[in-house]
Amino acid sequence: MQNNPLWDRLTELASQDAIKDLASLWQKPNRHQALVFEHDNIYLDLSKNWLDEEALAALCDLASHANLQAAIEQLFNGDVVNTTDQLPATHTTLRDPDHPNYQDNIQSIFGLADRVLAGDIKTGFGQPVKQLVNIGIGGSYLGPRLVVEALTELQSESRIPIFFAASVDDSLLNQLFNSIDIEHCLFCISSKSFSTVETLMNARAIHAKLKNIPSYAPNDQQSSLMAITANQQRALEAGIPPHMILLFDESIGGRFSLWSAIGFPIVLAAGKQKFLDLLAGAHAMDLHYRQQEFAHNIPVLMALMSIWYRNFIGLSAYSCLPYDARLRSLPKWLQQLMMESAGKMHNVNGDVINYPTTPWVFGDHGQLSQHAFFQAFHQGIDALPLDFIGVLEHKSPSQDFLLFNLIAQGAALMQGKEEDHSMKGCPGNKPSTTLLLKNLSARSVGQLLAMYEHMIYTQAVIWNINCFDQPGVELGKSIARDIQQHVENNTLNEMALDPSTLALIKKVME
């Protein structure tokens, strides 16, 4: 950023060879104690990173210079922070027990869930609901799926088993229909706008399959379809009965929406108490984020680490590696949260920026990753920030094995190994962060996800971008709609397309 002495100071610190030498950094006494942070169920160890106390202090000063504390208050006070749509971002109100939105949200979700669990809601076949298919994509899919997997280890443990239909793909829909008990299944169309192309295509395809079953006879009192949306009118126009529509507010962003009615599948699968505990954990992180000084504020520290590596060290990728199968969908959720929120080229004033924002985010279950891409981590010439995530409380020797692997990978990346045969040697000096959860309770999951949400907001404030819009998402969809319309009207040659694109369309049509 131009005319920012702190930016220049951090650039200078990052250019020093010593800051990228972990062996040298570890010569300083008390390094570990200075770079370990704890809050409630979260233990964060930053000591294996290319970072010292001087750089961390400068990064905290950068956050202060960006008026982060005032921006945090704007978020929690309901001020306009989504400047593109001139809206507040109210997802935190849904987990604040003192806010009216909290009770309204809970009563709405729990009211319908109670009727489903009591057998009062009948499908279009006149049968009680025993399964639910969530039809949604993006934030209407990734968040609920992550939490359902985290809080119900086995499908059989769910009060109501949950299935997910996200991709527009006939083969996947056919597999789904072979896996469910269709007469006892409720299909939940989750779409904030109720105009998401993929979701509506899947909904129409499923509805068509239902109508081809002779015993399917929906009416005002029984329906196999429900909706979760911020656009009630479109849901009604699609034929969803009013009592089968759950609403949430336009000011809740899709990728921040799992706390809202979008979390209805979580309630059915894990139960009301776990959903309340999930909200309570997130609220505890909200209070920590709002009240704790930056030097000990876990979401702020996570954001500052990301900015340090992206803008000053110059690393363009970032990996999230949970060593617990229950968190296997965390990397995909975080990928959307970070890249859709912070993948921007304009600041909040609409000016083109001259500095990179989001890194490329990827990851998977940690142990599976060891046999997929860790070779590149250990012997590739590049380095990148890694988040190793583990769960301490467990009752299985295999979980101990996973945690020992997590710890060993961080140590191996840092220490490396010298070998007489150079091709077997690993250089070491690769940075990583270790984040441990005390347990995988609903409260811990809520804290973890809220931590990452606030990490993203902090990045956005410092980068001076809007993390609550996603204009780039629509471009490809718009072109796809135009192509389909011109193909149907046999007017493809009227489109201004490059030869490659035109040839590919014709290849599909052959």
**209 exposed, middle or buried (CB, 10 Å; 0-12, 13-18, 19+)?**
middle
Are 122 and 230 within one domain? yes
Are 21 and 115 within one domain? no
- Residue of 48, 340, 365, 453 marked active site: 340
Q: Which DSSP state fits 243?
A: G
CB atoms within 10 A of CB 423: 6
380 is a domain residue: yes
Q: H helices within 78-217, ranges in order?
A: 100-117, 142-151, 170-179, 197-211
pLDDT in tens, 41-78: 999 999 999 999 999 999 999 999 999 999 999 999 99
pLDDT, residue 118, reads: 94
192 is a domain residue: yes
Question: Residue written as tokens 């692997």?
Answer: 405
Are 82 and 88 within 8 A, CB to CB? yes
Are 288 and 266 within one domain? no
Mean pLDDT for all residues in the chain: 93
Average pLDDT over residues 181-200: 93
pLDDT in tens, 251-307: 999 999 999 999 999 999 999 999 999 999 999 999 999 999 999 999 999 999 999
| Residue 318 pLDDT greater than 80, yes or no | yes
Are 70 and 158 within one domain? no
Are 353 and 236 within one domain? no
* 365 is an active site residue: no
pLDDT band at 385 (very low <50, low <70, confident <90, very high): very high
Are 43 and 183 within one domain? no
pLDDT, residue 472, reads: 85
Amino acid at 10: L
- Residue of 28, 32, 243, 477 marked active site: 477
Domain end (from 237, 270, 303): 270
| Residue 395 pLDDT greater than 80, yes or no | no
Cα–Cα dist 458/452, whole Å: 10
Average pLDDT over residues 339-366: 95
Are 116 and 263 within one domain? yes
Q: Which of 367, 362, 363 is nearest to 323 (CA)?
A: 367
pLDDT, residue 483, reads: 87
pLDDT band at 158 (very low <50, low <70, confident <90, very high): low
Name the percent of the chain lying above pLDDT 70: 98
pLDDT band at 157 (very low <50, low <70, confident <90, very high): low
* 477 is an active site residue: yes
- CA distance readout (Å), 439 to 64, 148, 273, 277: 33, 16, 17, 13
Q: 448: number of CA atoms within 13 Å, CB side?
A: 31
Are 25 and 149 within one domain? no
pLDDT, residue 155, reads: 47
Cα–Cα dist 112/35, whole Å: 46
| Residue 353 pLDDT greater than 60, yes or no | yes
| Residue 420 pLDDT greater than 80, yes or no | no
Query: CA 269, 272, 276 angle in degrees (round to 5)?
Result: 120
pLDDT, residue 487, reads: 85
Which residues lie closer than 8 Å to 317 by C-beta, 6 or more apart?
Answer: 359, 360, 361, 362, 382, 384
Domain end (from 241, 270, 299): 270
492 is a domain residue: yes
Rounded to an integer, what is the distance from CA 310 to the centroid of its chain? 19
203 is a domain residue: yes
| Residue 159 pLDDT greater than 90, yes or no | no
Structural domain boundaries enclosing 19? 5-85+282-416+425-463
Cα–Cα dist 510/508, whole Å: 6
Domain end (from 235, 270, 305): 270
Are 360 and 430 within one domain? yes
Considering the entire predicted model, what is its pTM? 0.94
Choice among 44-58, 151-165, 190-204 with the minimum mean pLDDT: 151-165
* 371 is an active site residue: yes
Query: Number of folded domains in the chain?
Result: 3
Residue 247, beta-bridge partner list:
229
470 is a domain residue: no
CB atoms within 10 A of CB 484: 12
59 is a domain residue: yes
Are 254 and 315 within one domain? no
Task: Report the CATH number that the domain containing residue 46 is assigned in CATH.
Answer: 3.40.50.10490
- CA distance readout (Å), 331 to 335, 336, 443, 452, 493: 6, 9, 19, 11, 42
Helix 272-291 to helix 68-77 angle (10° resolution) is 140
CB atoms within 10 A of CB 377: 21
| Residue 125 pLDDT greater than 90, yes or no | yes
275 is a domain residue: no
Cα–Cα dist 414/31, whole Å: 15
Are 264 and 141 within one domain? yes
In this structure, the strands spanning 386-391 and 36-39 are unpaired
- Which DSSP helix (H) or strand (E) runs through 245? strand 245-247
pLDDT, residue 302, reads: 98
Are 408 and 438 within one domain? yes
Are 18 and 59 within 8 A, CB to CB? no
- Which DSSP helix (H) or strand (E) runs through 406? helix 397-415
91 is a domain residue: no
- Residue of 293, 371, 395, 421 marked active site: 371
